Amino acid sequence: MTIAFASPVLAQNGDRGERDFQACVPCHSLEPDRNMTGPSLANLWGRKAGSLPSFDRYSDALKASDIIWDDRSLDAWLTDPNRMVPDNEMPFEGIKDSRVRADLLAFLKQATKPGAGSERAAENRMKGMGGMMGGMMGGNHTPNLKTLEPGQRVTAITYCRDTYRVITADGKTRHFWERNLRLKTDSSQEGPQSGAPAILPAGMMGDRADVIFAAPEEISRTIEGRC
């Protein structure tokens, strides 16, 4: 009887935890080695803090902490990361509600198991709308920039005083105030082809955008100072 009633309870906790995890989605992926602002959470249980080889942005404090991630250490981290590891660089104040932490950990313990992240990514790609919202929020799904529509492929950028003019393969020119255009790089398998930077909307008002290059050296080669 105990087993029969325990499974639905765990499932319910996991469902609530999955909803809570949406707050983490802009910074963390569940796919192995798919790092974003923060490291991938795939295969998290039993991993030493600051040790994922594919992630290069750990703070020195976290790398020196000698923490092994398990139920207890993750609960402490989610409660107050700055108290647990002073001078860590994660912009997160913690979750004070123990029920929310328990639900989130119940979800993560299942979702970060080997193979679970890849299965979930495939499900998200099939859903479609999840990818659209992820792009708007900077979230879990990143569009593949290897193949671009003409309006997304940048052919030239000029800069004059405080204005960028971005010319795309469809012949159109868009004007951006210098603070409204972000220049980024993406060297992953989903990043743009070399020499074919992508432009993506980055705001709700149409006045902001990201231009994403395959490598840093392409930025200076592409942008021409011309009025």
DSSP state letters, 105-140: HHHHHHHTSTTHHHHHHHHHHHHSHHHHHHHHHT-S
Query: Can you give the pLDDT at residue 132?
Result: 37
Query: Can you give the pLDDT at residue 141?
Result: 55
Q: Token digits for 55?
A: 């992630």
- CA distance linking residue 55 with residue 51, whole number of Å: 8
Query: Can you give the pLDDT at residue 8?
Result: 52
Q: For each of the chain's 227 residues, which pLDDT tens digit applies? A: 344 434 455 455 668 999 999 999 988 999 998 888 899 999 999 999 999 999 988 999 999 999 999 999 999 999 999 999 999 988 889 999 999 999 999 999 999 999 875 556 555 544 443 443 444 344 445 678 999 999 999 999 999 989 899 999 999 999 999 999 999 999 988 999 999 999 999 877 778 999 999 999 999 999 999 98
The helix or strand, by DSSP H or E, that contains position 222, with its residue range, turns out to be helix 217-222
What b/e readout covers 163-200, taking b as 16+ CB neighbours within 10 angstroms? ebbbebeeeeebebeeeebebebbeeeebbeeebbbbb
Contacts (Cβ under 8 Å, ≥6 apart) of 54? 33, 35, 39, 40
**What's the alpha-carbon Rg for the chain, to the nearest Å?**
21
Domains of the chain: 2-137 (1.10.760.10), 150-225 (2.40.50)
Q: Token digits for 108?
A: 């993560």
pTM: 0.63
DSSP of 143-157, one letter per residue?
A: ---SS--GGGBEEEE
Pairing type for strands 181-185 and 209-213 reads parallel
- CA distance linking residue 66 with residue 72, whole number of Å: 14
Pairing type for strands 198-201 and 209-213 reads antiparallel
- CA distance linking residue 90 with residue 133, whole number of Å: 24
